[in-house]
Amino acid sequence: MAENIGFISTRFAGTDGVSLEAGKWADVLEAEGHACFWYAGKTDCDPARAMCVPEAFFHHPENEWISDRIWGKTARPPLVTRRIKVLAEYLRRTLYEFQERFDLRIIVLENVLAIPMHVPLGLAIAEFLAETHVPAIGHHHDFYWERTRYSVSAVNDYLDMAFPSRDHDLRHVVINETAQEELGRRKGVASLVVPNVADFEHPPAPPDAYASDVRAEIGLAPDDKLILQPTRIVPRKGIQYAIALLQMLGNPRYKLVVAHEAGDEGMEYRDVLAAEAKRMGVDLRFFSTRVTETRQTTFDGKKTYTLWDIYPHADFVTYPSLYEGFGNAFLEAIYFKKPLLVNRYGVFARDIEPRGFRVPIMEGFLSQDVVAEVRRLIDDEDYRRETVEHNYAVAARHYGYGVLRARLNLLLAHIRGLPELV
């Protein structure tokens, strides 16, 4: 039975993990005959299928005013409480409008009841669910208890109520087993693990003419090796280990290219990385000004590229993250059949590594054996081909759209009245 399904979050725009995974869910659901619609404070979705409510964006001035007064505090002034409730009430009314406009039968809540970047919106959703009994799926990517930023709070009552709520009609989905255990322990609710996925049923197309000059635009010589760090510049990405790797490899032809920008917490870290690379004699290149969400032209007439334009040109991918909720960049490297280095972060060790991928793995430091394995993967073409083909096959079994399709169909079956999730 085809359903009208509404996705709700603070933002559906760009290449953040939540937006990307929500898009994959929608692709699979629409292939099954359902129609998907979007509600957010910022969205680049089809306007005919979307409702943009600026007050729902986490960077809206009213929400930022509230956030500045509730985190790192233990008391909440009455004025803050009033403004939270006023904004929540307004957003609750817009949720009713969203449901009625698109005749929605099921709601998917994308991380908005997990990470409290917008407390009023979370409260509005919790009340909306309690009042309407609309069947809903909470797709939780990361929880507030996983972030030190939210460890001291003046809104513990709201966190208990809405992040996530315990509504009878709300099914919970998490992206890793640790989150499943913690959600059960802290909130007493069952959940289903649905990992992040990629469309391994359809391999990427070869680079087209537009992207053929990526290496030259980065400034690489024909015999240089492009070592790609495909992440934002934030400390938890561990980019200092990528620099150390190139220093230990000791080959001046290896160039480390960072594809994304420094975020709000990353400008100082970026400067530290640049200084460290210079000290170690590593050729580090920041290419973020030429990497955009879609192909464009800069004000001075230069082309921009998407990350997917760059992946095919990489000779090796570094992914030395200290922590990840899952690991989209890991799957992307596998999808483009690129060898990669991984730091053994918690979710990788528990959820991904047991699947049998063949990747050099560091554990907080770079051993000589790991460096030797990286060197072999870069230099030995036959060994590299065998490794990446093996990894692609493993990922297709465990992290392809077929896995997502089966689990979404299971969720919809439960919503339609089959036994509860266990």
Q: Alpha helix (H) ranges present in 188-316?
A: 214-218, 239-249, 267-280, 307-310
CB within 8 A of 201, min separation 6: which ones? 396, 400, 401, 402
Tens digits of residue pLDDT in 115-132: 999 999 999 999 999 999
Confidence of residue 293 (pLDDT cuts 50, 70, 90): confident
Angle between helix 368-379 and 239-249 (nearest 10): 80
CA distance 363 to 370: 10
Six-digit token string for 141: 């990517």
Neighbours of 275 (CB within 10 A): 10
Instruction: Specify the pLDDT at position 62.
Output: 98
CA distance 309 to 235: 25
Question: Which 3 state secondary structure label does DSSP give 102?
Answer: helix
Tens digits of residue pLDDT in 91-123: 999 999 999 999 999 999 999 999 999 999 999
Q: How far is CA 418 from CA 74, 167, 184, in A?
A: 43, 18, 21
Instruction: Specify the pLDDT at position 16.
Output: 82
CB within 8 A of 401, min separation 6: which ones? 24, 27, 28, 197, 198, 199, 200, 201
The number of C-alpha atoms within 13 Å of 363 and in the hemisphere containing its C-beta is: 3
- Give the type of residue at 287: F
Instruction: Specify the pLDDT at position 292.
Output: 84
Instruction: Specify the pLDDT at position 93.
Output: 98
Higher pLDDT, 298 or 55: 55
Q: Which letter does DSSP use for residue 312 in this model? A: G
CB within 8 A of 418, min separation 6: which ones? none
Q: Is the pLDDT of residue 344 over 50?
A: yes
CA distance 56 to 40: 6
Instruction: Specify the pLDDT at position 265.
Output: 55
Closest CA to 10 of 60, 45, 46: 60
CA distance 205 to 9: 31
Q: Is the pLDDT of residue 87 over 80?
A: yes
Mean pLDDT of 286-306: 88
Angle, CA 56 vertex, CA 51 and CA 57 arms, to 5°: 105
Contact 262, 231 (CB under 8 A): no
Confidence of residue 260 (pLDDT cuts 50, 70, 90): confident
Instruction: Specify the pLDDT at position 17.
Output: 83
Instruction: Specify the pLDDT at position 420.
Output: 47
Contact 183, 172 (CB under 8 A): yes
CA distance 69 to 38: 30
Instruction: Specify the pLDDT at position 264.
Output: 52
CA distance 277 to 285: 10
Tens digits of residue pLDDT in 209-259: 999 999 999 999 999 999 999 998 989 999 999 999 999 999 999 999 999
CA distance 116 to 121: 9
CA distance 44 to 114: 23
CB within 8 A of 303, min separation 6: which ones? 210, 213, 217, 290, 295, 296, 297
Closest CA to 199 of 406, 396, 33: 396
Q: Is the pLDDT of residue 266 over 70?
A: no
- Give the type of residue at 291: V
Verdict on whether the full-model pTM lies above 0.95: no
Cα-Cα end-to-end distance for the chain: 24
Tens digits of residue pLDDT in 305-322: 999 999 999 999 999 999
Query: Tokens 């509005």 appear where?
Result: 124
Tens digits of residue pLDDT in 180-194: 999 999 999 999 999
Tens digits of residue pLDDT in 48-69: 999 999 999 999 999 999 999 9
Confidence of residue 375 (pLDDT cuts 50, 70, 90): very high
- Give the type of residue at 187: K
Instruction: Specify the pLDDT at position 150.
Output: 95
Radius of gyration of the chain (CA): 22
Q: Is the pLDDT of residue 30 over 50?
A: yes
Q: Is the dihedral of CA 350, 138, 163, 67 positive or negative?
A: positive
Neighbours of 101 (CB within 10 A): 12
Question: Domains along the chain?
Answer: 4-197+401-415 (3.40.50.2000), 210-396 (3.40.50.2000)
